Amino acid sequence: MGWDLPSKDSNQGFEMPHNSEVSLAQNPIAPEAAARHIRRLMDAERRQAALQYGAHVRCNPAPLGIIGAGVMGTSIAAAAVRRGVPAIVVDNDEQAVASAPQRIAVRLDAPPAGADVNVEKVQRLVQTSRELAAAASCPFVVETVVEELAVKQQLLAQLEPLLSAGTIVASNTSTIPLVKLSAPLRDPGRLCGCHFFLPVGQAAMVEIIRGEKTRPETIAGAVDLANAIDHVPLVVADAPGFVVNRLLVPYLAEALQLLTEGVTVQAVEAAAEAFGMLMGPLRLLDEIGLDTALECAWTMSGSSADLVVRSPLLVTMVKARQLGRKTQAGFFLYDGHDPLPQQLNPALAKALARWPQEPRTHTADTILLRLLMPMIQEATRMLQRGSVRDAGQIDLAVLLGFGFPASRGGLLYWADQWGAARIVQLLGTLDYLGPRAHAAPRLVEMAQKGRRFYEG
């Protein structure tokens, strides 16, 4: 694949100077080069999916069955409605069923003729029900119930006898490995992961997870669904957190860690936003839901000791039912449907009072370093393990999965601007964090050999 790489002598200054005065927020990447790079990544991923799965049985995913009418169920339904794909949305909670059409309409883009047009469109394309059988009648069913293994397994066990032989089932799980989810199924080959994301402002993507037992036809169907609703299909292997959350959760965990070290919410958010993140990590946590984030962190921290720092702060907030935007209170307070936070949540100060404030002084740069380095470390380990095809999959995951700034071209495209030697040196300044700041072996090797993530 021909990567759009800035050369060492181009005016994009490929290697950043080894000068500690240079801020991490500085961006030497030309906007057109970053945009071209991202377009190529998206084309490459679509081409790869077509090449690998195009020959398998095609699936018309309409109407799309969606089980769970929460944050994600309504968001996926909105994505379907946007592309004219009918959907049947099922939830076991009466209130969730009753309010689903309105919540789906809110998630659609603002129509020129007013909100009523959205409601009418939803009424035309979306049916709602409390009966599992309604979703089971669809050729493609996505479950989006809460992130708890037992709940999801029980649901899948109830669902399977209601399905026809060819029905594809996808789980929108954020982190639970398919190998665990598929345990109660008689036909685990029909199950794949379809991990959707909240809209992140750029092109939409779905991370398609190929379990050990998933049939190629199942993946082909998921690629068809992605194409039908204009989402980039990122097909990846089964692992806790897959690709996107394996990168996102350590970043969010680091933001929580910084709060317990006495860094303010404003300072964390400002550093991330100045770097170009669509929103700061704490507001993103509010959007995701603190309970969902806790379940994800829990699943992933069990899989690797140095991946996620466990956060008692998150536990405290969840116990206090400060779950983020869905309860109108998380790190920030919210008002009705307004997505913008109104103010800091005073309950946070109370929760933080338990932690002794550390005397370490942070600057915007040291905060950025803390937020970004865990992602680079894990991305390097994933490349080393072969759990992604190449650096391009990592970059698409962060760009389209959680709003990494497009102007940077992606995490590893950006890291290549600094060079592995500089990254290793920067990690050395985080020595006070212990083993999790020790540079990944592949990174050290890259530094020694002067290699990049994108090699020509």
Between 55 and 151, CB nearer to ligand NAD: 151
Place of tokens 């109104």: 342
455 binds ligand NAD (CB under 6 A): no
209 binds ligand NAD (CB under 6 A): no
Q: Taking phi first (over 0 means left), then psi (-120 to 50 degrees means alpha), and beta for anything else, what does residue 93 get?
A: beta
| Segment interacting with ligand NAD, rule: CB under 6 A, options 139-147, 302-310, 375-383, 428-436 | 139-147
Between 6 and 401, CB nearer to ligand NAD: 401
**What is the total count of residues that contact ligand NAD (CB under 6 A)?**
28
Taking the complex as a whole, the smallest distance from the CB of residue 71 to ligand NAD amounts, in Å, to 4
Between 272 and 369, CB nearer to ligand NAD: 272
Helix ranges (H only) for 83-215 are: 94-107, 115-125, 132-136, 149-159, 178-181
238 binds ligand NAD (CB under 6 A): no
Picking from 430, 439, 455, 421, the residue whose alpha carbon sits closest to that of residue 379 is 439
91 binds ligand NAD (CB under 6 A): yes
Residue span 259-288 as binding mask against ligand NAD, x where in contact by CB under 6 A, dash where not: -----------------------------x
96 binds ligand NAD (CB under 6 A): yes
Whether 18 is catalytic is no
Buried b (16+ CB within 10 A) or exposed e, 171-200: bbbbbbbbebbbebbeebebbbbbbbbeeb
324 binds ligand NAD (CB under 6 A): no
Taking the complex as a whole, the smallest distance from the CB of residue 147 to ligand NAD amounts, in Å, to 3
Between 92 and 227, CB nearer to ligand NAD: 92
144 binds ligand NAD (CB under 6 A): yes
151 binds ligand NAD (CB under 6 A): yes
Between 22 and 198, CB nearer to ligand NAD: 198
198 binds ligand NAD (CB under 6 A): yes
Q: Which residue of the set 18, 56, 195, 337 is catalytic?
A: 195
CA atoms within a 13 Å half-sphere pointing along the CA-CB vector of 416: 25
341 binds ligand NAD (CB under 6 A): no
| Segment interacting with ligand NAD, rule: CB under 6 A, options 50-58, 168-176, 365-373, 377-385 | 168-176
Between 141 and 333, CB nearer to ligand NAD: 141
CA distances from 47 to 52, 83, 158, 314, 411 (A): 9, 21, 36, 40, 22
- Enter the tokens of residue 140: 């493609």
Residues from 7 through 46 that contact ligand NAD (CB under 6 A):
none
Taking the complex as a whole, the smallest distance from the CB of residue 133 to ligand NAD amounts, in Å, to 12
- Enter the tokens of residue 431: 């020595």
Q: Taking phi first (over 0 means left), then psi (-120 to 50 degrees means alpha), and beta for anything else, what does residue 304 get?
A: beta
- Report the alpha-carbon distance of residue 210 to residue 222 in Å, rounded: 10
146 binds ligand NAD (CB under 6 A): yes
Peptide bond connecting 374 to the previous residue in cis, omega within 30 degrees of 0: no
Residue number of the CB atom closest to ligand NAD? 70
Residues from 58 through 77 that contact ligand NAD (CB under 6 A):
67-73
Between 125 and 288, CB nearer to ligand NAD: 288
SS3 (DSSP) at 191: strand
430 binds ligand NAD (CB under 6 A): no
- Report the alpha-carbon distance of residue 164 to residue 182 in Å, rounded: 17
172 binds ligand NAD (CB under 6 A): yes
> Is residue 360 a contact partner of residue 261, using CB atoms and an 8 Å limit?
yes
Picking from 139, 132, 135, the residue whose alpha carbon sits closest to that of residue 66 is 135
- Report the alpha-carbon distance of residue 195 to residue 208 in Å, rounded: 6
DSSP state string for 217-281: HHHHHHHHHHHHTTEEEEEEE--TTTTHHHHHHHHHHHHHHHHHTT--HHHHHHHHHHHT-SS-H
Between 107 and 442, CB nearer to ligand NAD: 107
Widest CA span of the chain, in angstroms? 63
Taking the complex as a whole, the smallest distance from the CB of residue 452 to ligand NAD amounts, in Å, to 31
115 binds ligand NAD (CB under 6 A): no
Between 145 and 219, CB nearer to ligand NAD: 145
> Is residue 440 a contact partner of residue 381, using CB atoms and an 8 Å limit?
yes
174 binds ligand NAD (CB under 6 A): yes
Q: Taking phi first (over 0 means left), then psi (-120 to 50 degrees means alpha), and beta for anything else, what does residue 280 get?
A: beta
| Segment interacting with ligand NAD, rule: CB under 6 A, options 109-117, 142-150, 371-379, 380-388 | 142-150
Binds ligand NAD by CB under 6 A, chosen from 147, 207, 286, 378: 147
Which residues are at the interface with ligand NAD (CB under 6 A)?
67-73, 90-93, 96, 144-147, 151, 155, 172-174, 195-198, 288-289, 292
Catalytic (active-site) positions? 195
